[in-house]
């Protein structure tokens, strides 16, 4: 798997196959790419084709023209189309695969052809990190400032006087320190919090991390981080190794006042164990942007628990969501053809993120 952009030869345009869904066919960000009106996009280097179904790509997937590379952009369409392209005669010409979302497990886990193909895969990592970092702080504030209790008093027309907590001086433990974790740490540090971060390789310490992380630990120190955190933020991808990593034992190690905040993937939490702890008041609360099953089934305990804040996987669904992810793709397209571009977010297909 290439660790750097392929940089295809000049004079031979890359056929860019965009896999999208019907409601996005006329979206402004995509229209600028297809019409060549995005000044940042290297239009001359790409022959853009857009489809929602595999049969919409007949010429592209049945003809394997020598010297014509192919790139795949998953733009929130049917992942099966991606697999279909990589089972077609043009598979050998695919030199780059890009996901419009940061998470890629929905593609890798359902389309083995994508995982097995030698072409590098990139994603939109970083496009939504700021919004997720803001949400982690919002959820922390929700519980610290007793917003739920005050809203209830307001609705009841009852004056309420009570003490409230502060974020300053509290510890935020961030489990899964990648781009999202860094965004959480930056905002937590701005509030005067102590930040403990966990990642697979604690020695991967970027210069900006030294300003915002007080202690970087390996994932093997999970229990310690859970014990110390007033707010435990999960920013983990879903892999076989992380599934239900936050189990009954991990939840039991949290402070009685501790708050669990999940901006990563719902499947990393043993939700039955979490529900038990919340019902019994063994932890202070949970702020959940994600759940193991989405949409969350009607009647699930999370809906009724007073110490749960749900945001229905909307924390990164900003009003400029598609603009942000297209901007990330354009920068990758520029890097792909050797025309500048900021970064190359290479996915580790084996690890799943």
Question: What does the pLDDT look like over 132-163, one tens digit per residue?
Answer: 999 999 999 999 999 999 999 999 999 999 99
Residues 149 and 35 in one domain: no
Domain range for 92 is: 14-127+319-336
Model confidence over 222-231: pLDDT tens digits?
Answer: 999 999 999 9
pLDDT for position 316:
97
Q: What are the residue numbers of the active site?
A: 265, 294, 313
Model confidence over 24-74: pLDDT tens digits?
Answer: 999 999 999 999 999 999 999 999 999 999 999 988 777 655 568 999 999
89: its two tokens: 């005669």
Rounded to two decimals, the pTM is 0.93
Residues 147 and 288 in one domain: yes
Residues 135 and 250 in one domain: yes
Look at residues 223, 209, 290 and name the one whose alpha carbon lies nearest to residue 255: 223
Residues 40 and 99 in one domain: yes
Q: Is residue 31 part of a domain?
A: yes
Mean pLDDT score across all residues of the chain = 94
Residues 200 and 240 in one domain: yes
Q: Is residue 254 part of a domain?
A: yes
Residues 120 and 143 in one domain: no
42: its two tokens: 């290297």
The DSSP annotation for 173-233 comes to EEES-SHHHHHHHHHHHHTT-EEEEEES-TT---TTHHHH-SEEEEGGGHHHHHHH-SEEE
Q: Are 34 and 49 in contact (CB under 8 A)?
A: no
pLDDT for position 3:
64
Query: What are the C-alpha distances in Å from 351 to residues 218, 246, 332?
Result: 17, 19, 21
């Amino acid at each position: 798997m290439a660790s750097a952009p392929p940089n295809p030869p000049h004079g031979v345009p890359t056929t860019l196959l965009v896999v999208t869904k019907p409601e996005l066919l006329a979206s402004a960000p995509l229209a600028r790419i297809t019409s060549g009106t995005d000044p940042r996009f290297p239009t001359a280097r790409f022959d853009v084709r857009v489809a929602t179904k595999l049969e919409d790509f007949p010429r592209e997937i049945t003809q394997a023209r020598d010297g014509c590379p192919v790139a795949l952009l998953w733009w929130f369409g049917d992942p099966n189309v991606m697999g279909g392209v990589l089972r077609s005669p043009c598979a050998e010409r695919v030199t780059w695969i890009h996901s419009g979302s940061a998470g890629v497990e929905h593609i890798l886990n359902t389309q083995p052809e994508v995982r097995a193909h030698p072409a590098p895969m990139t994603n939109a990592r970083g496009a939504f990190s700021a919004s997720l970092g803001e949400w982690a702080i919002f959820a922390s504030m929700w519980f610290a400032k007793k917003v739920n209790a005050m809203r209830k008093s307001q609705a009841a027309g009852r004056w309420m006087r009570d003490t409230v907590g502060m974020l300053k001086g509290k510890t935020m433990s961030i489990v899964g320190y990648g781009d999202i974790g860094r965004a959480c740490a930056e905002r937590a540090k701005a509030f005067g919090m102590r930040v403990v971060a966990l990642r697979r390789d604690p020695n991967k310490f970027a210069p900006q991390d030294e300003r915002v992380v007080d202690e970087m630990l390996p994932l093997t120190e999970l229990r310690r981080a859970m014990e110390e955190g007033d707010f435990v933020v999960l920013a983990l991808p879903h892999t076989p190794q992380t599934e239900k990593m936050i189990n009954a034992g991990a939840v039991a190690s949290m402070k009685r006042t501790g708050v669990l905040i999940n901006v990563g993937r719902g499947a990393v939490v043993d939700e039955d164990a979490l529900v038990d702890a919340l019902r019994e008041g063994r932890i202070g609360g949970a702020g959940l942007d994600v759940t193991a099953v989405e949409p969350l089934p009607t009647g699930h305990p999370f809906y009724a628990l007073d110490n749960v804040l749900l945001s229905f996987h909307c924390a990164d669904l900003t009003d400029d969501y598609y603009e942000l992810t297209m901007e990330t793709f354009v920068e990758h397209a520029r890097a792909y053809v050797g025309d500048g571009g900021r970064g190359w977010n290479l996915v580790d297909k084996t690890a799943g993120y």
